[in-house]
Amino acid sequence: MHSKSQTHRRLLTGRSWKYVFLFWIVSGLAGITTHAAELKPETVAAFEHYIAITETRMDDDIRRDQFLVIDRLPDLQRKEAYEQLQMGQIYIEESHTLEGNHPIHIPNGLVHHWTGVIFIPNATLSETLAVMNDYENEPNIYKPEIRKAKLIEQNGKKSRIYLQFYSKSIVTVVLNAYFDIVETQIGSARVQSTSRSTRIVEVVNPGAPDEHERTDGNDHGYMWRLCSYWRIEEKDGGVYLENESITLTRTVPALLGWLINPLTKSIPRDVLHDMLTDTQKAVIKAKTTLKEHSLSRGGPALRHSFR
């Protein structure tokens, strides 16, 4: 007999969607209404407050030795979740940050907050980090939804990157997004990578000679902000890889709410499932390639570097 909390925390298998971010929901359906959606200062302030409280909770989790989201589950459910992860399933849950046990209101905005965990057997922390930090290879790992990627700057454990997101459904949406990333080592077997968007802008005439970033202010609110938190832990003969993503978009038009609202629950599970699966495959592929290369040279496997 599954509890109500278990109903909301589902372990998913299978593959049905390519890697996409949560704003595809809005770009694919709410795109029917093409009027601009202004990002208001009060929306930004509320989202930043949501992020600040969420990151405080994350810090508390680490102090309590609850590094992964499943570590916060009751003993029996936690044991079951670890067992299912090791059998190849993926843990997914919708997350909600509360303040004083109350939801945080985001005026004129919609927050999509989801967390997922996958297990990569026989992988190491360093092998996984090599793939995670190979930013310019992301168009190969997550194509076609990431079209371009570039490492702009790197200073120790801090990086600045550029990604171009692409979605084509009812409307075609191309966004240029810029992120600051900070990687933090936690003990010998854990790493947290925090990615915060610094600028997200729509692209006009994508693929044409005059492709350029929109400057006329007619933003449609497909994705205003994205904060993504990766947690990597090596144990149990492999690596647990967790992603917690928090996205800010425009609100759903009232007339389309009956159609879109159910999809804001079902699609993100598939979104997160496939992002984790694609990353897992990239780590396994890199590990296999390194082993084959080492064997062909007749020497021991060396630590793989993508740079």
- Residue range 41-78, pLDDT digits in tens: 999 999 999 999 999 999 999 999 999 999 999 999 99
Q: What is the pLDDT of residue 253?
A: 57
Q: Which residues of 189-210 are buried (b: 16+ CB within 10 A; e: fewer)?
A: ebbbbbbbbeebebbeebeeee
Instruction: Given CATH 3.40.50.980, say whether it is the number of domain 15-296.
Output: no
- Chain-centre distance of CA 228, in angstroms? 5
More confident residue, 104 or 38: 104
Q: What is the pLDDT of residue 35?
A: 61
Mean pLDDT (the chain) is: 82
Phi, psi of 50 (to 5 degrees): -60, -45
* Mean pLDDT computed over 203-227: 84
Q: Which range among 19-23, 48-52, 265-269, 289-293 has the greatest average pLDDT?
A: 48-52
* Mean pLDDT computed over 188-215: 92
Backbone dihedral region for residue 73 (phi beyond 0: left; psi -120 to 50: alpha; all else: beta): beta
More confident residue, 8 or 294: 294
More confident residue, 237 or 206: 237
| Global confidence as pTM | 0.83
* Mean pLDDT computed over 162-167: 89
DSSP-based three-state secondary structure for 44: helix
Cβ-count burial of 299 within 10 angstroms (0-12 exposed, 13-18 middle, 19+ buried)? exposed
| Measured distance CA(279)–CA(283) in Å, rounded | 6
